[in-house]
Structure 1
Amino acid sequence: MVFVEVKGAVMKPGVYELSEGDRVLKAIEMAGGYIESSNPKHINHAERVKDEMVIYIPKEGEEVEESPLATNGSSQSSLVNINNADATVLTTLPGIGVAKAEAIIAHREQSGAFKDKQDLTKVTGIGQKTFEKLEPLITVK
């Protein structure tokens, strides 16, 4: 069994237990499906779910860097760009809640764009252990 978190524009956001090998489509169905204002066009419904995966469904008109699907970093298209991601997208990362997302944005606004991933450790509340979890999931394009 694997646990997957479904966030964003779905009827019932939350953590769901699925069988290994299940598809993203099943996780979205378990979350009650899309709300009317969702924008699922960048979601790979056929992708197999992975343990600790976060599936983020944006709303129509919401800007999302590359694919809004944040996985365990297994593919380039799922990386979150910490230089332009908003708080909603940042909170799809493990260990990043609203307060840390706001701290990342505040640091970015005060100090400019992150030059490399390691710069994320300069943000208050993000230590080396948190960074190690985030490194495979982020980019600084």
Structure 2
Amino acid sequence: MKPWQLILVGVLGGLLSTALILLISAPPRSETIILRTQTPSPWVIHLSGAVTRPGVYEVPPKSRLMDAINIAGGLLPQADTDAINLAAPLKDGIKIRIPFLGEETSSSSADITSSVEIYDEASGTESDRLDINQASVEQLETLPGIGKTRAEAIIEYRQKHGKFDTIEQIQNVPGIGPGIFEQIREFITVTP
């Protein structure tokens, strides 16, 4: 072989080697994209009175009273179903007492819809929401994802920095980030 042919073969071999190395070390052309959907946290409610198994239960968001009663094993035969609204929508953190037949009930406990603050996304108003500038620790704990520690942190932040101007400012509280904010945004408000 002539010297110029040897050089040409060497250059072509080098180019092929470089192409092979680049092909092997190149990242994959399509990367898998993982989409995460946020599943809403279950609501926690307390059922007492004329149910088979009184206690604290988790129910899916937007459940009705009848759903919670079914989870608790159903009504006792002595339950006064005329005193309650079985179709009433529930709210996270509520306690419901199912009265027994002949039991005196106050007007507020006879109709669950009048004794429970209910938030309905379609017709919700600011008055249905919890004012984070006024709420106590116990009231804040009824919000999804807010336990005693976070509720106390909200109160402490409020004492140090004053009232919240917008609901988004609650994300400045340690322990409350965008995830928690998305869970509670529809349930909170601020008043000046």
**TM-score for the superposition, normalised by structure 2:** 0.47
Q: Larger relative CO (CA 8 A, sep 6+): 1 or 2?
A: 1
Preserved CA contact (<8 Å) 1:4 1:27: no
Q: Superposition pairs for residues 90-101 of structure 1, below 5 Å?
A: 90-101=140-151
**What per-residue deviation string (whole Å, max 9, x for no partner) do you get for residues 66-122 of structure 1?**
x85354655224311111111111111111111000000110111111111011011
- Structure with the bigger percentage of helix: 2
Preserved CA contact (<8 Å) 1:93 1:134: yes
**Counterpart of 2:92 in 1: which secondary structure?**
strand
1:13 matched to 2:56? The reply is yes
For 1:48, give the aligned amino acid.
P
Question: 1:86 aligns to what?
Answer: 136
**Counterpart of 1:95 in 2: which secondary structure?**
coil
Preserved CA contact (<8 Å) 2:131 2:189: yes
Preserved CA contact (<8 Å) 1:90 1:101: yes
Instruction: State the Cα distance separating 1:8 from its structure 2 match.
Output: 9.8
**Counterpart of 1:69 in 2: which secondary structure?**
coil
Aligned length: 116
Q: Superposition pairs for residues 1-141 of structure 1, below 5 Å?
A: 4-7=43-46, 12-16=55-59, 23-24=64-65, 27=68, 30=72, 47-49=88-90, 53-57=91-95, 69=117, 71=119, 73-74=121-122, 75-76=124-125, 77-141=127-191
The share of aligned pairs that are identical, in percent, is: 30
Distance across 2 between alignment mates of 1:97 and 1:110: 20
Preserved CA contact (<8 Å) 1:69 1:78: yes
**What per-residue deviation string (whole Å, max 9, x for no partner) do you get for residues 3-30 of structure 1?**
542159986333247xx8x643774795
**Counterpart of 1:102 in 2: which secondary structure?**
helix
Give unmatched runs, 5+ long, in structure 1: 31-43, 59-66
- Structure with the bigger percentage of strand: 1
For 1:123, give the aligned amino acid.
V
Question: 1:35 aligns to what?
Answer: none
Give unmatched runs, 5+ long, in structure 2: 1-41, 73-84, 97-114
